[in-house]
Each structure stands twice: as structure tokens, then as C-alpha cells.
Structure 1
């Protein structure tokens, strides 16, 4: 006997007895939307049939036709496919791949409007999460909007067309809202010499017998040299190794292979001699910092130089000061601080970066620095290197912020804390902790570290009230 359908009051409930949400009807066509403002992710916000819609490729004040890409319980997502009433801040993207490539999301917006929008997002996040407004707003740090990105990772994929023809090689960044790759021929945000390599890179990949085993290629550019890091999941043949070495020699590149076992298997293969380092200079301090192509660095050298100078000016480091630099990396702030302070204690979670920091301090003749590797999510205030306290503190945490860190460093009672952030939401959250600890938010501002992207880089100074 066939099973009977349960009554409707049972059918509309889930296994745990809760009422199932009504199934949403997909939005048909491309309705017109009026873009009201930006979200904190720098996406247009509109309303459609009483529901919030986040719209890519749309600027505040514009009327657009939009294609819906996702529907959720509390909001929908869409992309503008036709601009009916453009904003005066809209321009033609400088990159021919901008419409599809997910590397940059704001190329349709003037650089001036981009950084202004990011400043507003910072101020809104500070007000929303910390109920704070800086006493003074630092003018934005800006630079060249193109040719700035000194590190990038290009995905490699062989795609088989539906027609059944030969697989095609795709080299590029991920598409917007997709794991697919955009096949690019150039990238205007890379240094011109790096962007010019892309067609030759694709040609060499196609000639390589082991191309299926190559997952991605990283480009890292120092002040004087460009390095390629080829990530391969299987050993390269002698013929392929010779081919890639010849490519590096022809273009004056440094070539590294990241092997199939782990990140630590990265090795330099060309030139066959010389140090495994690139470098960038901080001329205002007479310093040069060396880095491995796979190290974390600030990818925008111009803004980084401005940022370091501004950081030291805001902290107002004095010759008698003992300074704490947290999340110090390879010494980007540490070494400049050491040219001004009595002593700098630099702490990082990765031992490899503290080793790099020591190398840089030694190469620059600085001997008033302690580099320490430590878990910054634990209480480090009783560590031997923390004895004696600190007069000033600088921290540059990852996107997740530094909640446990700020809860600990307030015990040092430093006169000033400078917070460099790549996420205004976690900066605002952590700012609330510092305000409760008796600090005041004296200054804050944004830096155009990543033009044409939605990343918001900011800087905030907290001083003892």
C-alpha cells in the first residue's frame, strides 16, 4: 500500500518540529534597483520587494538593472548588468578583465571615491562597534592606483571545453563569486615588468609536459628583481626544469620551485648561486629589508613607506623609550623603530619570520632589538622579554584582529598604542577594549594599500586619557 502524505501541518515542519521557512521564489529578469549606499564590504545596497540586496558593480546613487546571483533568508545578492543612471564617480575600468576577474572589485570607481568610501566605512565601524569617533581624522595615504602590487598568486588550470576539443590552459585570478579562473593576458595592478610576463608564462606552461601538476605561480617583485615560485604537485622532469630555468634566465628572473611535500620544500633553482632573497628599501630610515619570495610583506611599497613614516611620527618615539612591536613579521616597523628608540622588543608567532627579522637587523647594523617567537593569543605579560614594561606599543595583526592581545597589553600602561589594521570591524571591536582600559582614540585614518579592491587598511592611535 503506498505511503500517504502526512498532513500539511506535519509536512511544513522539519525533523526537529520547527516550522520550515517558506521556499523563496527566484527573482526573475533584471529588475531596476536604486543603490542607496555602500556596505562595509564596499558593495552597493538596494531594496527589492522590502528585502536588502547587496549589489556588485554598483555605486551609491546609481540606478541599475541587476541580475540576482543568490537568495538568502535575510538578504539577496546581485550584480549590476546595466547602469541606467551612472554616478559621477564611475569610470571605465583600466583593466580589460575587470568585468569578470575577482582580483579587483572597484575599478569602475575613481580612486578618490574609493578611498573616501573606505574612510567612511572605518568611521562607521568605529562608531557602530566601539561607540567611538576619533578626535582627529588622519588624511588618507594615497599613491599610484596601478602597478602597485608586488606580490600575487596566479592560478593554473587546464579546462576541457564542452565541445570536446583539446583542453585549454587558463592562467589568472579567480572570477568574481566563483572558484573558476579568469584567463588573463595582463594585470595593470602588477608592476609593468611583471604584467608583461603573463603571455610568455602561458606559452611556457603549454610547452611543459608537467603542466597538469602545476597548481599556481606566485610572482614576487622586490626593488631590483622579480621572482617566480612555481607550485608543483609532482616532481618536474629534467626537461621541464631546464625549460623553466631558461625562461628565468631569458627574463632576468629568480626562479623557485615549491615542491609536492610542503611549503618548506621551496628552493631556488635560478640563478644557481647568490642569496635566496629579494629586498625593498625604506629610504627615510636608511634601511633595506630582505625577504624570501614566500614571506608575508606589504605588497604596496609606496604606501608601505608612507605608512612606516607616519607610524613613527604618530607614536613619537623618544630615545629613552622601550617599544613593543607585536605581529612584527620580518621587521617592517621594528627596524625603523630601532633607529629612534632605546630598545625594541619584536614579537611574532612564526619562528621563520623572527629569524628573517634578526637577519635584517644584523644586515642593517641594529643591535637594540630583541626578536621573540610567541603565541600572542596567550598571556605573554609574564614572559621574560616583557619585564620592565613598555613606553609605546605598535601592533599590526591579521584580519582576525587582536582581541586577546589588547586585553593583555593594557597591563603595560604604555603612553601610546598604535594599531595598524586590515579589517575595520575587528579594529573597532578591539578599540572598544582599549577605550574601556582608559585610552582615548586620538587619531585614525585609512591608507590606500590595495587600490581597486574592497580591502580597507587603516591606522589608529590610542593615547592614555
Structure 2
């Protein structure tokens, strides 16, 4: 993992540059002025990973500049990471002085939440034994955090293999399980602003919602309360299981979740071929008015993009404004951008999240 160039004095200027870049990318589509949602200047990142670098008998948390894995940046703290991560870093470092925990440990990952939960993943170049498990249990109790140990062919869990988060949208608090190793939004404060924006942009509906790439149900939970019923899709088994648990934990019963990729759902809706995973799901019973998409950096493939054209409203969250612009170009003849937003998930980097609402012309 590379280290962002942390300089709070430059934050406002960098955010202005990102806004100008988004405006330029969306200018061909006559998009309105973007709503801009800033980030805390420090302690905003809820997850991070470090390599360990040996100097003599000592090992340190380390990061590297992109393309350079020979010259580490050694760290005692990490100002962009959550306060919880910064509290855990020195205490974990003291813990790996125990050979049962420190021997052939090469990577550490932290996953925390705004709600205060924490999980630490320790990765090894050796098998994990009973001595490791006993030491990890003692360390977990001291740190107040779950621990997952990983080595080739092994995954040992002390505590839970997920953290619990809480997000409040329109006065309702939603609880989320966020599994170890699965994608979660790194910037919790900005993630909350994204949920608020998407909830408001969707508005109350008397028809149905289709969601592609639903992950652990991050957006599914609040958006489902705006629709008559919802069909959500996700391909990752880990994320599907988390989403199902999150729906149950929050008492949301108007969502059907199927483990299909966006491409497979496109084939199903186009009646190209049947899928056993859709057994018992009557696709024709849905009156879809809105499709919500939060695709990977590559954006939507052309066929999925064509699928979204069928819907009156397309609510699109993007982690890559270039592929967002390319997808809008494909849809621009039938849909217009009526709202757009910039979410600064990744301060001090060129990366940004954006959102658009497209409505049929």
C-alpha cells in the first residue's frame, strides 16, 4: 500500500482541483454543478494495511511509494487512519515481540468502524499452531479487538471475522456486519454522506428498485426503504452472506438478493438463458423504476450499461470518474444528468468518488 502525501494545509486546494476535474468530465452532458462533500482532514480512514520491515532485530510498520518496494517509509503512527487504528498500532507492535506472534509475520491489516469496533489481520510465512492461537487470544483480550491469522491454507479467527458498523440515514440507524477481507468503504464519515445523498436523490417511490453490485448491502438497506420492493445482485459469496445478515439484522424484508454478476442478470432479464440461482424469483413481477449501480473501477460493461437504459432513473455511484463519463456517454441520448456529487473518500490522492442521477429525457 502506498502512503498518501498528508498535508492538511493543501486539502482545500486539492478538493477544488477534484471538483474542477469532475466538472470538466461531465461538461459534455450538461450536468448541473456538483454537490461537494468533503472529508475530515485526518483520522478518516477506517481500514489500512502495512508491510513489516526488518531493521536488525526490530520490525516496523512500513509503506512504499508506488512502484518502489525497496525503500520503505517507516511509521510509528498514521495520521490519516482512524484514532482507533493509531491507538492499536503501538500496542500490537509490543505484542509481536512475543515469538509466538511475531515469527515470520510479514503483513498487518486493520479494519475499524465509526462505532468503535476493530479487527486485526496478521499474515504469516509459516503455519499457525496452538502456541500462536493462545498468544493471539491473550492479545485480543488486551487490545479489545478480534484477530484473524492467515497463512498459506490457514485462517484462524479469534473473536469475530467481521466488525460491526452503524450508519444513520434520515433518522434511522442501520447496523452493518463488515467481513474481514471483503470490500468496505474506507472513509466512514464520507460514506455516511454518500448514503444520505443517494437516499435523498432516489426519493420516495411507489415502484421497485434494481441494485447491481450491492456488496454487503451498504446502500441496499436505506434505499430499500424508499421502494415498494427491491432486487439486489452481488457475485461475492462473502459479501452476499454479509448482506443477507445485514438485511435480517435490520428487519428489512422487501429485498430479494441473488448471487449473480451484473452481466448474468443482464442475460436473465434479456431471457438469454435461465439461472438456477433465480429459481423462485419472478422477474416479471417487478415494476422497476430505478436502477442503482456502484460498479468497480472499470465501470459498467456495454451490455450492462444498455440494460440500465431501460429504467426511468439511473442512480450511479462511481469510484472512477473517467469510466463514469464513458458510461454516461453511452446513455446520454436517452437520459440526462439531473444531479451530481463529488465525495472526497480519498483525501491527498487523485482518487475520488462521484455520484449522478440520470433521468429519462
Report TM bin, short chain.
0.7 to 0.9
Aligned residue number for residue 208 of structure 1: 99
CA deviation after TM superposition for structure 1 residue 108, in Å: 6.3
TM-score normalised by L of structure 1: 0.69
What aligned pairs does 1:220-369 form with structure 2 within 5 A after superposition? Answer: 220-222=111-113, 223-261=115-153, 265-269=154-158, 271=159, 276-284=161-169, 285-318=172-205, 320-369=206-255
Quote the Cα distance in structure 1 between the aligned partners of 2:137 and 2:53.
21
1:317 and 1:337 in contact (8 A); partners too = no
What aligned pairs does 1:19-34 form with structure 2 within 5 A after superposition? Answer: none
What aligned pairs does 1:184-199 form with structure 2 within 5 A after superposition? Answer: 184-199=75-90
Alignment of 1:175 with 2:75, yes or no, is no
Quote the Cα distance in structure 1 between the aligned partners of 2:102 and 2:173.
43
CA deviation after TM superposition for structure 1 residue 440, in Å: 0.7
Q: Which has the higher helix share?
A: 2
Aligned residue number for residue 432 of structure 1: 329
In structure 1, list runs of 5 or more residues that go unmatched. Answer: 1-100, 160-165
In structure 2, list runs of 5 or more residues that go unmatched. Answer: 272-277
CA deviation after TM superposition for structure 1 residue 211, in Å: 3.8
Quote the Cα distance in structure 1 between the aligned partners of 2:179 and 2:41.
25
Higher RCO by CA contacts (8 Å cutoff, separation 6 or greater)? 2
CA deviation after TM superposition for structure 1 residue 237, in Å: 4.1
Quote the Cα distance in structure 1 between the aligned partners of 2:24 and 2:58.
46
1:103 and 1:453 in contact (8 A); partners too = no
Quote the Cα distance in structure 2 between the aligned partners of 1:390 and 1:314.
16
1:226 and 1:254 in contact (8 A); partners too = yes
CA deviation after TM superposition for structure 1 residue 332, in Å: 0.7
Aligned residues: 344
Aligned residue number for residue 13 of structure 2: 113
Change (3 A) 1:362 1:108: closer
What aligned pairs does 1:384-423 form with structure 2 within 5 A after superposition? Answer: 386-387=283-284, 388-404=286-302, 405-410=304-309, 413-423=310-320
**Aligned-partner SS, 1:391:** strand
**Aligned-partner SS, 2:74:** coil
CA deviation after TM superposition for structure 1 residue 267, in Å: 3.3
Aligned residue number for residue 449 of structure 1: 345
Larger radius of gyration: 1
CA deviation after TM superposition for structure 1 residue 461, in Å: 1.1
